[in-house]
Structure formats: C-alpha cells, structure tokens
C-alpha cells in the first residue's frame, strides 16, 4: 500500500529524485557522532569508544527496546572506525583493535538483527577526524575513491555519508558527487543492496558560502544525485543550535537564511519528495549531561568536536558530548524535525537514555507525520514576535500543524484555520499528537492553553465531512 501511495504522489508531483529504491521516506536510526564523537581510547572507556562492541550493543538495544519496531533501522558510525593507514594494497580498512572482526562481520551482525549499517567517509584525502578518505578532489583524480566505493559495497553498507573535509571542502555537486553517487548506484545494482547516498559539508551558513566561493545552490541537482544532504553547521546539543536551525529552515528571512540566488528559498522548501529529503543534522533528544566524564559542547566550538585535539590517542576523559536541553526543548526538537520530513537520527546513548526522552522519540503519531509518504517539507506560515505557526501537508489530505513559542516565557498561540489551508466554514477535527488525544471538531480556529517558552504543540487537522 505504501508503494502505491508513493506512486500516486509522484503522479501529482515532479518526482525527479535519486531513483535507487531506498529512502522513500526520511531515514530513521541512530548515529554515533553527537554523543561519542571520536572516542578511540578503549582502554580508558571500553564501553564508550568507537568500536564493534559499542555498535553491537546499540544494535541490540534498538531491537530489544522497540526502536526498530517504530522504524529506527539504521545504525551509523560517523567517522573514527578506520585504521590510521590503508592496507598494503591501498584498500580502506577498519581499526583492527577496535573492530577485530572486521566491517563485513559487523555489517552481517547488524543485518542479522533486522537493522542496516551506515558508515562515513569524506571526499578529500582524509576525514574531518584525520582518517583515510576517498581522495577525490576532481573527476580526473578519483581512482582511490572507486576502490573505496567497492570496499564499502563488499562490506554490505546500506548508507554512506560523504563529508567535505581536508582538501575537498565544498565538494562539487556538479562533478565529484554525481560520480561517486553513480558508482554506489551501479554497485548496488550488482549486489542487490541499495545504498542511501548522503553528501554533507554543504552548509549555507559557513564561511565558504559567505566568501562567494561556490556556485548558487542547485537543489534540483542535489535531489538527482542524493537521497539526503546536510545543511547548516554541525549540531551541538544546546538550545541555541536548535533555535538557529529552526529559523534557517523557515527560509523566509535573509538574516537567518541568506540567499545566493533569487529563487533559493522556494527551491529549498519544495525539493523534498519520496527518495529525497534534507538533513538538519542529528536529533539531540536524550543527549543529557549525566556524567562527570562528559565534555560540554558549545555552539560553533570546533575544539568541542574531538576532545583531544589532533592527537586522538591522548584523551584525559572519554570523548563524549553531553547536552543541556530541557524536556520542553527536546519535544520541540522532535516536533520540528518531523514537520520538515527530516531524517530522525538519534544522537543519544540508547543504552541509558532517560525514559522521558525515549517517549518523545517513540511517539508513533509524531513519527507518522515525519514518515508521511508525501515527504512534504513543512513551512512557517506565521511568525508574530516569536510565536510561530508551521504547516505540513499530509498524503491523506490532512494537515500537521506545529505551534512553536520561540520566546523564553509561556504564551498562547492562536490558530486560525485559514492560515493552514482550510476555509473559515470548514468543520475541522483536531488531534493533539503529543498528548495523543482528540480535541474535538472546530470551525474557524482553535485556542490552546499557553505554550511553554521554547516549546511546541503539534496537531493533526482533518476536515469532517
């Protein structure tokens, strides 16, 4: 049935996205970077270093605690799994002490649990953490990359993130990324295991774009060569980062989302579709500061990324990045990512995630909005002094609405139905998705109780015939 609905969606919209058979709705899963960063000292932190032990335990937890049943199926290692050097034949290899069984065996284990494995590389000669990477600065100098693609495919990878680091900052979406993407597509056709292709490092708000070193963003091209792609700076588990990303995703203010060409905002808002979605980075829900060994992360603090500088072998404390979001702010994080049809990649330690945070991430009605097969990226339709209304069309004709209070103090946000696609005469059935309760049938609009500062309500509106 889901495939039929996707087909109907494509008949009514221009579905020109990457046709590789995966990512018809936004990716859901867990990724290592936000919590564990590049923790490679397993003597110091045997349960929290980037290793096959950590990945297997996380996979086991995803199955045992119901995450997989809800759709969280990808287990992704975001850098720091590699050996410092390549094998004698030049092929990429995993660190043998932290991944003694090898990556193929790890992929087999993940697959045996009903999950999928994601890995990370970069277009330059090294990753952002300094490990061997594709080394593809141009299409004429990309021999090593082809060998690495074949290695990833032989390991059984289901998802690959390609960053822009070292000598490939701002990797070219007209040349190198289409080439790498085509190799993964061709290889997947041979192996029968399609791979989600995820370019990263194309943030609009970084210095490269501000210096005008790039051509204008070409969102339609992105969708033709990738399932998902990262925008904006790396997420840190602090509220200021979440709020900045929300304003950027609104794409209606040149201060928070500067444009490089006239139609950019509309292109940004309309490119998502089955097989194509944009990535604001991992969810910070559940990433709590619950240990003296955590390293606090601050907005735009590069030194917070690696916990030991360039010397990865010297780590005075386990390299874990701990968050400071309140329960209200965590709920908003989940609501807004779901409104945008964004990937839901959990950045917390699932083995010890607080029950309240897990409940936020496991709310099936909010997940259903994120996974709606229309893959419509929600839009901000009203913003009055920080009191915001966001609207997201859904495949069955209903509408998801987020009422977001960007201010510090509680405030009521009145909802007028004509601002989110209804008429003043429509009888509208309202469902509160966070509380999972019906709010009755209303005409014209709805007035809820005050919403906490930094908080959001999430509703589903359906016409009563």
Active-site positions? Answer: 163, 234
Closest by CA to 320, choosing from 123, 113, 32, is 32
- Please tell me the distance from the alpha carbon of residue 297 to that of residue 308, in angstroms, as a whole number: 13
Terminal-residue alpha carbon distance, the chain: 24
Q: Are 17 and 278 in contact (CB under 8 A)?
A: no
- Please tell me the distance from the alpha carbon of residue 95 to that of residue 23, in angstroms, as a whole number: 29
Angle at 202 between CA 197 and CA 207, to 5 degrees: 165
- Please tell me the distance from the alpha carbon of residue 363 to that of residue 397, in angstroms, as a whole number: 21
């Amino acid at each position: 049935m889901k495939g039929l609905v996707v087909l109907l969606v494509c008949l009514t919209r221009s579905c020109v996205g990457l046709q590789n058979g995966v990512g018809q709705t936004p990716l859901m899963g867990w990724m290592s970077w936000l919590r564990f960063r590049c923790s490679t000292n397993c003597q110091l932190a045997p349960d929290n270093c980037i290793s096959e032990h950590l990945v297997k335990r996380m996979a086991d937890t995803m199955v045992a605690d119901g995450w997989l049943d809800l759709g969280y199926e990808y287990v992704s290692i975001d850098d720091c799994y590699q050996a410092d050097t390549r094998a004698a034949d030049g092929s990429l290899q995993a660190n043998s002490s932290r991944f003694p069984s090898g990556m193929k065996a790890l992929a087999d284990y993940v697959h045996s649990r009903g999950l999928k494995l994601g890995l990370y590389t970069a277009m330059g000669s090294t990753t952002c953490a300094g490990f061997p990477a594709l080394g593809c600065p141009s299409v004429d100098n990309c021999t090593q990359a082809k060998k690495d693609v074949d290695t990833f495919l032989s390991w059984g990878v289901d998802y690959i993130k390609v960053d822009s680091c070292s000598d490939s900052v701002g990797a070219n979406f007209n040349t190198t990324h289409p080439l790498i993407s085509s190799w993964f597509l061709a290889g997947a056709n041979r192996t029968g295991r399609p791979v989600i292709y995820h370019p990263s490092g194309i943030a609009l708000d970084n210095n490269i774009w501000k210096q005008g070193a790039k051509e204008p963003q070409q969102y339609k091209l992105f969708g033709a060569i990738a399932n998902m792609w990262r925008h904006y700076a790396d997420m840190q588990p602090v509220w200021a980062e979440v709020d900045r990303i929300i304003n950027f995703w609104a794409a209606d203010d040149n201060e928070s989302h500067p444009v490089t060409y006239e139609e950019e905002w509309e292109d940004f808002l309309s490119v998502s579709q089955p097989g194509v979605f944009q990535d604001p980075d991992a969810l910070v829900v559940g990433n709590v500061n619950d240990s003296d060994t955590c390293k606090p992360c601050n907005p735009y603090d590069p030194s917070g990324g690696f916990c030991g500088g360039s010397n990865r072998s010297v780590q005075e404390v386990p390299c874990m990045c701990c968050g400071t979001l309140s329960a209200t702010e965590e709920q908003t994080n989940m609501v807004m990512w779901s409104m945008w049809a964004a990937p839901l990649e959990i950045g917390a330690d699932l083995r010890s995630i607080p029950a309240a945070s897990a409940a936020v991430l496991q709310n099936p009605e909010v997940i259903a909005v994120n996974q709606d097969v229309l893959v419509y990226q929600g839009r901000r339709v009203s913003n009055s002094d920080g009191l915001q209304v966001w609207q997201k069309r859904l495949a069955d004709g209903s509408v998801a609405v987020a009422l977001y209070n960007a201010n510090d103090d509680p405030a009521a946000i009145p909802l007028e139905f004509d601002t989110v696609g209804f008429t003043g005469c429509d009888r509208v059935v309202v469902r509160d998705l966070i509380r999972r309760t019906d709010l009755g049938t209303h005409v014209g609009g709805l007035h809820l109780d005050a919403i906490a500062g930094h908080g959001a309500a999430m509703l589903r509106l359906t016409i009563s015939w």
